[in-house]
Homo-oligomer: A and B are copies of this chain.
Amino acid sequence: MEHFAERNIIAAIARQQARTAADLVRGIGDDCAVVRKAGGLVDLWTTDALVEGVHFDLAWHPPELLGRKAASVNISDIGAMGGRPRFALLALGLPAACPKEFLDKMVAGFLDVLAEHDMVLVGGDTVYAGERLLLSITVCGEMAEKQVCYRSAARPGDLVWVSGCLGNAACGLELCRQGWQGQEEYALLCRAHLDPQPQVRLGRMLAESGLIHAMMDISDGLATDLAHICQGSGVGAEIMAEEVPLAGELQKAAAALQLSTMQLALQGGEDYQLVFTSPAQNSGPLRNLSQEAGVDIACVGRIVAGAQVMLRQDGEWRDISFQGYEHRF
Contact = CB atoms under 8 A, between A and B. Distances in A.
Interface of A: 1-4, 6-7, 9-10, 13-14, 16-17, 19-21, 24, 27-28, 32-33, 35, 37-39, 43, 45-51, 53-55, 86-87, 89-94, 96, 98-101, 103, 107-108, 111, 114-115, 118-132, 134, 136, 138, 140, 327, 329
Nearest to A102: B1
A123 B33 contact: yes
A7 B91 CA distance: 12
A18 to B, nearest CB: 8
A6 B93 CA distance: 10
23 contacts: A2-B99, A4-B100, A10-B126, A13-B107, A16-B108, A17-B115, A17-B120, A20-B120, A21-B120, A27-B123, A32-B123, A33-B123, A37-B38, A43-B43, A45-B87, A49-B125, A50-B127, A51-B130, A54-B128, A98-B329, A129-B134, A130-B132, A134-B136
Nearest to A48: B125
Given A32-B123, A130-B132, A138-B138, 19 more contacts: A1-B99, A3-B100, A7-B126, A9-B94, A14-B121, A16-B108, A21-B120, A27-B122, A45-B140, A47-B90, A47-B91, A47-B124, A49-B136, A89-B138, A93-B136, A96-B329, A129-B132, A130-B131, A134-B134
A47 B123 contact: yes
A329 B102 CA distance: 12
Contacts of A134: 49, 93, 129, 134, 136
A38 B39 contact: yes
B13 A90 contact: yes
Copies of this chain present: 2
A48 B121 CA distance: 15
B111 A16 contact: yes
Q: Which of A19, A33, A90, A126 is the most central at the interface, judged by chain B CB atoms within 10 Å of its CB? A: A126
Contacts of A2: 99-101
B121 A13 contact: yes
Contacts of A53: 130
Contacts of A21: 86-87, 120
